Amino acid sequence: MCRNIRTLFNFDPPATEEEVRAAALQYVRKVTGFTAPSKANEEAFHRAVEEIAFASQRLLDALVTQAEPKNREVEAERARARSAKRFGTAER
């Protein structure tokens, strides 16, 4: 799937409306292949983003877990370490 779509569940503080919408936008872009839709497809594109954002927020609100909430800074550092290892930019 798309690497730009980030995990939004079980963070403290919870994912914001903007983060959920950004993930929905990335999903619609990936599925359609459009970065920006043409005028003819604009309404359908934006409607899909809103519907997916709504469904995603409902899902996030309904999920439960016993796990401790994740820390955004720790997760970001882990992602940077994975990226450095993957792309060979780790300091030696």
23, 8 contact by CB (below 8 A): yes
The C-alpha R_g of the chain, in whole angstroms, comes to 16
**Measured between alpha carbons, how far is 29 from 43 in angstroms, rounded to an integer?**
14
Q: How confident is the model at residue 75 (pLDDT cuts 50, 70, 90)?
A: confident
Q: How confident is the model at residue 90 (pLDDT cuts 50, 70, 90)?
A: low
64, 24 contact by CB (below 8 A): no
What pTM does this model have?
0.78
pLDDT at residue 20, as a whole number: 96
Q: Which residue has the tokens 């792309």?
A: 87
Average pLDDT over every residue of 52-64: 97
pLDDT at residue 68, as a whole number: 92
Which of the 8 DSSP states describes residue 9? S
| Alpha helices, H only, 8-88 | 17-32, 42-62, 72-87
pLDDT at residue 58, as a whole number: 98
